[in-house]
């Protein structure tokens, strides 16, 4: 990597030389640099990633996050963190251009809370997809028609989700409810996803607008439609249908119900999202995560889920947010083993079986401080950021977001007060989730240079944290 520094005074020159010295120094007894020796944000060419945030000023930018329990939402440890990531991007672009994927489960009525901008529920049968064809956190059901007295499933109701432009059902700890994050003026459509099967119907949908943010199947329908995707096929694919503009009929909230078209055949529906055609600018983070996951869990459990991830795209970047479970589950993985698992996951993501894009941009984050680990586990975990830096140094389309260093500056980790940010030894409390989301998006979008002083970063992030209290 060629570093382009622009020191303006003696203090800046001193910081550059200190940064270069740290970058060339390995920790005693370790194979990689430690988190304190890796830049807050590191890439061989930061401009490639900066372009993503510039593009978001005029179009929808999609980020897929692969994580563990800390990133599961709505029914998991990410119930505050994931909505706050989307909120941080909303603050910068003053718009959320689309919702995350509405999954086929009950969420938003209490526990679990809502997804960002969504509350949903679903009927239907079990899906016919194999578990390794489904991304983590995505629940899938198969649906027939609404003719419950004669159809194959016996259901008269399909999958439904309400577009909550005000994030009314998200976890209260996210501190979001009350704003308007998705502008419902103009043209709003939905994109519905389904899988092929040797015996399959098509997709049928209807808009059910209403006043009030609770779900109801029993309101007058406006926009209706049917797909013609050719879902009856022995070759496995994931396809999508974009609806006609959805008619709100003067109501405050939009609901969409999706189901099948054939009494005698099922349609495997893989969820849907609302999209704002009139106001498409901004960034949306879609989280695909599961509790207890290590990096290699995606390789072991979801090797055939590439068509689903590909269909949910086009992705501007894939964000791998793992590390704590790698380091501390069981005997724990060394930094070298963690590096190898991340490299294998990146290879899978870019492979022809997944996104078929060898230049797909990847963001990798070593996770934050965890209390009560063994000395050996701590020593290896301290080097996870350095292991990721080696990957990024050899691949210009990989960026390291050093979440560990960002949060240590907030007093989260060693020598600080982690209890202020955690409700147990590793999981974020509401304050910690908000603070981490703010720190990560601040660093990603602004790309601090290696010359930025620790004091200045710590001051900025501390001030941001105080504003969330």
> What is the per-residue pLDDT across 162-221, written as a single tens digit (0 to 9) for each?
999 999 999 999 999 678 999 999 999 999 999 999 999 999 999 999 999 999 999 999
Residue 293 and residue 259 in one domain = no
CATH number of the domain within which 127 lies: 2.60.120
pLDDT tens digits, one per residue of 87-122: 999 999 999 999 999 999 999 998 999 999 999 999
Distances (CA, A) of 298 to 62, 85, 269, 305, 348: 20, 22, 22, 9, 9
* Spatial distance between the Cα atoms of 171 and 84, rounded to a whole number of angstroms: 10
Residue 419 and residue 294 in one domain = yes
* Spatial distance between the Cα atoms of 130 and 103, rounded to a whole number of angstroms: 17
Q: Is the dihedral of CA 416, 417, 421, 427 positive or negative?
A: positive
Residue 265 and residue 360 in one domain = no
List all residues 6 or more positions away from 109 whose beta carbon is below 8 Å from its beta carbon: 119, 121, 169, 215
List all residues 6 or more positions away from 364 whose beta carbon is below 8 Å from its beta carbon: 319, 320, 342, 388, 391, 392, 398, 399, 400, 401
Helix (H, G, I), strand (E, B) or coil at 131: helix
Residue 357 and residue 239 in one domain = no
- Answer with the one of 276, 304, 322 that is the final residue of a domain: 276
97 close to 134: Cβ distance less than 8 angstroms: no
pLDDT at 11: 33
* Spatial distance between the Cα atoms of 182 and 83, rounded to a whole number of angstroms: 13
pLDDT at 295: 97
In a domain, 104, yes or no: no
* Spatial distance between the Cα atoms of 22 and 15, rounded to a whole number of angstroms: 11
pLDDT at 29: 53
- Answer with the one of 258, 276, 294 that is the final residue of a domain: 276
Residue 269 and residue 298 in one domain = no
Using CB atoms within 10 A of its CB, is residue 3 exposed (0-12), middle (13-18) or buried (19+)?
A: exposed
Alpha carbon dihedral 106, 107, 111, 115, in 10-degree steps, equals 160
Identify the residue whose tokens are 């060394």. Answer: 334
Helix (H, G, I), strand (E, B) or coil at 419: helix
Using CB atoms within 10 A of its CB, is residue 258 exposed (0-12), middle (13-18) or buried (19+)?
A: buried
In a domain, 63, yes or no: yes
Residue 198 and residue 310 in one domain = no
Under DSSP, the state recorded for 34 is: -
CATH number of the domain within which 14 lies: 3.40.50.1110
pLDDT at 456: 44
pLDDT at 448: 55
- Answer with the one of 243, 258, 276 that is the final residue of a domain: 276
Number of domains in the chain: 2
pLDDT at 253: 98
Length of the chain (residues): 469
Ranges of the chain with pLDDT below 50: 1-26, 28, 449-469
The domain of 264 spans 118-276
pLDDT at 245: 98
Using CB atoms within 10 A of its CB, is residue 208 exposed (0-12), middle (13-18) or buried (19+)?
A: buried
What is the DSSP pairing of strand 362-366 with strand 398-401?
parallel
* Spatial distance between the Cα atoms of 203 and 262, rounded to a whole number of angstroms: 9
């Amino acid at each position: 990597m060629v570093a382009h520094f622009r020191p303006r005074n003696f203090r800046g020159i001193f910081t550059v030389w200190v940064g270069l010295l740290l970058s060339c120094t390995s920790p005693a007894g370790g194979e990689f640099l430690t988190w304190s020796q890796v830049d807050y944000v590191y890439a061989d060419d930061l401009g490639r990633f900066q372009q993503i945030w510039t593009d978001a000023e005029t179009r929808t930018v999609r980020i897929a996050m692969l994580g563990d329990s800390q990133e599961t939402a709505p029914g998991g440890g990410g119930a505050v963190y994931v909505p706050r990531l989307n909120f941080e991007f909303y603050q910068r672009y003053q718009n959320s251009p689309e919702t995350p994927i509405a999954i086929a489960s009950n969420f938003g009525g209490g526990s679990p809370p809502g997804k960002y901008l969504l509350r949903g529920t679903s009927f239907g049968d079990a899906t016919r997809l194999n578990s390794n064809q489904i991304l983590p956190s995505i629940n899938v059901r198969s649906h027939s028609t609404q003719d419950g007295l004669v159809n194959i499933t016996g259901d008269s109701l399909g999958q439904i989700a309400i577009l909550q432009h005000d994030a009314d059902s998200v976890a209260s700890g996210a501190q979001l409810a009350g704003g308007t994050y998705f502008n419902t003026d103009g043209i709003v459509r939905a994109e519905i996803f389904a899988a092929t099967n040797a015996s399959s119907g098509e997709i049928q949908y209807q808009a059910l607008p209403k006043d009030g943010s609770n779900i109801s199947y029993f309101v007058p329908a406006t926009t209706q439609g049917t797909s013609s995707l050719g879902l009856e096929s022995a070759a496995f694919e994931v396809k999508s249908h974009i609806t006609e503009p959805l008619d709100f009929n003067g109501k405050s909230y939009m609901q969409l119900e999706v189901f099948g078209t054939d009494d005698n055949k099922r349609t495997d529906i893989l969820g849907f999202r609302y999209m704002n055609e009139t106001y498409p600018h901004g960034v949306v983070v879609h989280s695909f995560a599961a509790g207890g996951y290590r990096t290699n869990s995606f390789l072991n459990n979801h090797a055939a889920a590439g068509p689903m991830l590909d269909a949910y795209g086009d992705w501007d970047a894939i964000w791998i947010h793992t590390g704590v479970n790698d380091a501390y589950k069981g005997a724990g993985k060394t930094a070298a083993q963690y590096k190898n698992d991340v490299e294998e996951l990146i290879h899978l993501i870019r492979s022809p079986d997944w996104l078929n894009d060898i230049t797909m941009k990847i963001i990798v984050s070593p996770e934050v401080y965890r209390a009560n680990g063994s000395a050996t586990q701590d020593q290896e975990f301290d080097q996870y950021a350095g292991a990721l830096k080696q990957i990024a140094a050899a691949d210009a389309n990989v960026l390291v977001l050093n979440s560990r260093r960002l949060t240590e500056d907030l007093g989260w980790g060693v020598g600080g007060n982690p209890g202020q940010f955690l409700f147990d030894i590793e999981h974020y409390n509401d304050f910690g989730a908000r603070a981490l989301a703010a720190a990560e998006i601040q660093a990603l979008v602004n790309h601090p240079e290696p010359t930025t002083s620790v004091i200045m970063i710590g001051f900025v992030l501390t001030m941001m944290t105080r504003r969330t209290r």
